[in-house]
Amino acid sequence: MRATSQGATSAVFRDSSGRLLTGFAAKITTASPLIAESEAIRTALIAAKNLELQQIIIESDNLLLIQAIKSKSTIGEVDSILQDIHHLAAEIPHCEFTWTPREGNLVADLVAGLAVANILRPNWSSDPPRQVMEALRSELLWR
């Protein structure tokens, strides 16, 4: 039996200028960080589809996962989630996936951490916490 741990998935939607549009975070129980990251990407694609976004770039700091998505290869542990990701991505006219180092992924990581700590309100993106706004500014400078 695999060990599980508590974590969170999050996604932050920004426009081409880096301004916050919306976002989500959810606590999860998962068997691995790879599963958690895969779930976050799948959920972000579902949200993008529901928002009827036509052009998106999904960034992740998990290089193995991004490589698998781009090459349409499999990773046994997350194979069914990868299949969902490929199907959902095909339904968005301009959907790209890119690896971003952790320093470029601070906001999503912070949002997930705040969710785990029960600090994040359900509607956090309409009135983001100070820490999130600071991380957004920091990421803009990093890019």
Residue spans per domain, the chain: 5-142
Superfamily of domain 5-142: Ribonuclease H-like superfamily/Ribonuclease H (3.30.420.10)
pTM: 0.87
| CA dist., res. 143 & res. 115, Å (int) | 25
pLDDT value of position 7: 82
CA 56 to chain centre: 12
With a cut of 90, say whether residue 140 has pLDDT above it: no
What mean pLDDT do residues 105-112 have? 88
- pLDDT-derived band at 3, boundaries 50, 70, 90: low
pLDDT band at 102 (very low <50, low <70, confident <90, very high): confident
Cβ neighbours of residue 125 under 8 Å, at least 6 residues apart? Answer: 12, 20, 21, 22, 23, 24
The Cα–Cα gap between 8 and 26 comes to 5
- 88: pLDDT strictly greater than 80: yes
Q: Are 89 and 45 in contact (CB under 8 A)?
A: yes
Q: Residue 1: its pLDDT value, please? A: 47
Each residue's pLDDT tens digit, 23-82 = 999 888 888 989 999 999 999 999 999 999 999 999 999 999 999 999 999 899 999 999
The overall average pLDDT reported for the chain is 90
Report pLDDT for 139. Answer: 78
